[in-house]
Amino acid sequence: MSLEITTPQADSRSVKNAIFKGVKCRCPNCGEGRLFDKWLKVTPQCNQCGEELFHERAQDFPPYITISIVGHIVVTLLLIVESNFDLSMNTHLMIWLPLAFILSLAIMQPVKGGVVGMQWALRMFGFDGNSTND
């Protein structure tokens, strides 16, 4: 007599699709509901499919990714401009500081959406369905 232990299999969640939906600032489950109530405030529950989204714990990861992306873009452009043109320090400041600021603001929300989508797909924190309200 053999004893088989089985665990219920949860439905498969595609990490790539969830991140893509999150980058579009949509619910990682249905892809239709809005992910954010405010600029970076994740909605507690999807208004389309009812998926609970308050479990997210993105914290410092989106700013880290944003700084890495913006740094690569700005430093690359700065090096190209510096090697081809002779600009004053004031001109550099007037170009690169606003560019870094605008790029950071522009990509922070999609990056956070992607992180929330990844957390949902990997069933991190409370997204596994086994936790109670925080």
How does pLDDT run across 10-69, given as a tens digit for each residue?
Answer: 678 899 999 999 999 999 999 999 999 999 999 999 999 999 999 899 999 999 999 999
Q: How many CB atoms lie within 10 A of CB 2?
A: 3
pTM for the model stands at 0.84
Non-local CB neighbours of 32 within 8 Å, separated by 6+ positions: 26, 48, 49
So where are the chain's domains?
Answer: 15-128
| One-letter amino acid for residue 6 of the chain | T
Rounded distance between C-alpha atoms, residue 89 and residue 83, angstroms: 14
How does pLDDT run across 89-118, given as a tens digit for each residue?
Answer: 999 999 999 999 999 999 999 999 999 999
Cβ contact 125:57 at 8 Å: yes
